[in-house]
Amino acid sequence: MVWIMSSAVSGLALLTGFTSAVATQADIELPEFTTLSVPEHPHHAIRIKEQSDEICDAGSRQWTGWLDTGGKHLFFWYFESLNDPENDPLSLWMTGGPGGSGLVGLMLELGPCLINDNGTGTVHNPYAWNANSSMIFVDQPAGTGLSYFDKDVTPPSTSYTAAEDMNIFLRIFYQAFPGLAAVPFHIVGESYGGHYIPALAAEIVAYNTGSPPPEFKVPLASVLIGNGYVSPADTTWGFYDTLCTTKPGVPEPVFNETMCGRIADALPRCMYLQQACYGFPDPIICGAAAEFCFSHVDLLYYQDVKTGGRNPFDITRPCETEKICYGAGDGIEGYIKSERVLAALEVPEAVGKNFSLISESVNERFALAGDEFLSTEGDVKYILESGIDVLVYNGDLDLACNTAGNVRWTNKLSWAGQVEFVSRAPEPWFAVKGGERVRAGLWKQVSKVTRGGKETRFAFVTVEGSGHMVPLDQPEVGLQMVRNWLSGDFGKAVRGGVEVRVKGEEDEFVSLDL
């Protein structure tokens, strides 16, 4: 989720009552875990313990723990693939925010266990994304969710300082699970993950290609950015298209002609100010740009975001509660803070009692540092040209990180395949839903030989009937989208198929004639 506390950027969080999940006690008593470290990072270690299905009905082996890195302690939950954990890829899920807990993705969207209706336990998710990939869910940066930091430690306040911690996390994680080094690694996430993911991928690429070369290289293969907050300017530009035009599922514009006229009049100056911020990222310039764009564009919608009011994550639905606009969020918080779960995870008391799905203090740190004002388009270009495949996918009913804005920056991205990408018309893609073939959205992809001689994929995929959280709104379609991407041939989806891989059997491709 994008929850930016700066009134100049989001406004939604100003209407909510989030509490901080930060614990800075340096004298927290640590429980017994298996502890591992690597020689090049002597002051960093990972504490890990295996869990049963008692608190998360996953159906696969699972582990929880913390990475201890320079006085910062990052909580993670790792699940093996349900299919073939020795050979299936590894994926890292990054929730947005900034300050959003990985448990949003785990228990509300794509994890192997979802919160039940009354918030007292979990149920198995038949469309979990660990169907064909082992998955890591992490609370980052420090201060998010069940992660914490010691007294007198300065936690990250930008996507790039957070990426440094996450790169170390991954290198030590591979020491705990060395067999995973032989399979591809993918970074997946949504919303402010549009900042987190490119920053982390760029950090990994730079580390892997450094001099002298490291003994171990994280085997990064691709990134998947869902409803991502990559380009703030283009996200704001997309408000007009999202609120003032029709699309599948939106038969009438959300705004009337008067409101649309106000947005249209304000956007040229908004874009001018945003470009000035990009060119010279001074806090005063960027603050002025964000303030103008928020008050003249964003606020026209966000002023009505409240319980029972407008929902920025799905323009066709009301906001259910003030916690992330989805009522299940309250259930997740209550469940994680229960004595049974805190005891099973062995969460330090000071951390558990302050747990929140969204950390206000993390959000404020990033806002004050100006992280949300800047675009990560340059990082996407860098990783593409370094041979890392990139999938950008978008639910069409989202306003916060809208399709129109993400179409705009992906078309503008100056990389080796830009000309072909811009000129290529999107095609329908199809998925199997409820046993029937359905149109799932639109897609286009360009493959181009980049630095090092690798043919690299850049794709944009839309998901119709989905808002901000594709795995929640369209679980069957979302899983098929990921399976097709990880298979290396998303074109199969266009032909109406779904990649089915079962351990011990040959791959089966289910093709449905159009």
Q: Is 491 contained in some domain?
A: no
Which of 73, 186, 195, 468 is flagged as catalytic?
468
Which of 298, 314, 396, 398 is flagged as catalytic?
398
Does the active-site annotation cover 468? yes
Does the active-site annotation cover 191? yes
Q: Is 101 contained in some domain?
A: yes
Q: Is 478 contained in some domain?
A: yes
Q: What is the pLDDT of residues 273-327, one digit of tens each?
A: 999 999 998 889 999 999 999 999 999 999 999 889 999 999 999 999 877 898 8
Beta bridge partners of 190: 226
Phi-psi region of 71 (alpha: psi -120 to 50; beta: other; left: phi over 0): left
Residue 34 or residue 206, greater confidence: 206
Q: Is 385 contained in some domain?
A: yes
Q: What is the pLDDT of residues 452-507, one digit of tens each?
A: 788 999 999 999 999 999 999 999 999 999 999 998 877 766 665 544 444 444 44
Does the active-site annotation cover 139? no
DSSP state of 109: I
Q: Does residue 266 register a pLDDT over 80? A: yes
Q: Is 406 contained in some domain?
A: yes
Classify strands 41-51 and 34-38 as parallel, antiparallel or unpaired: antiparallel
Which of 455, 451, 373, 457 has the alpha carbon at shortest distance from 410?
457
Which of 6, 191, 375, 386 is flagged as catalytic?
191
Q: Does residue 256 register a pLDDT over 70? A: yes
Burial 338-376 (b: 16+ CB within 10 A, else e): beebbebbbbbeebbebbbbbbbbbbbbbbebbbbbbbb
Q: What is the pLDDT of residues 113-148, one digit of tens each?
A: 999 999 999 999 999 999 999 999 999 999 999 999
pLDDT of 508 reads: 38
User: In a 3-state reduction of DSSP, which class is residue 266?
Assistant: helix
* Full DSSP string of 420-486: HHHHSPPEEEEEEETTEEEEEEEEEEEEEE-GGG-EEEEEEEEETT--S-HHHHSHHHHHHHHHHHH
Q: Is 300 contained in some domain?
A: no
Q: Give the domain range for residue 222.
A: 12-235+372-412+464-483
Q: Is 417 contained in some domain?
A: no
Which of 11, 191, 165 has the alpha carbon at shortest distance from 100?
191
Percent of the chain's residues with pLDDT above 90: 78
For the chain, the domain total comes to: 1
Question: Dmax over Cα atoms in the chain, in whole Å?
Answer: 63
Amino acid at 395: G
CATH assignment at residue 225: 3.40.50.1820
Q: Is 316 contained in some domain?
A: no
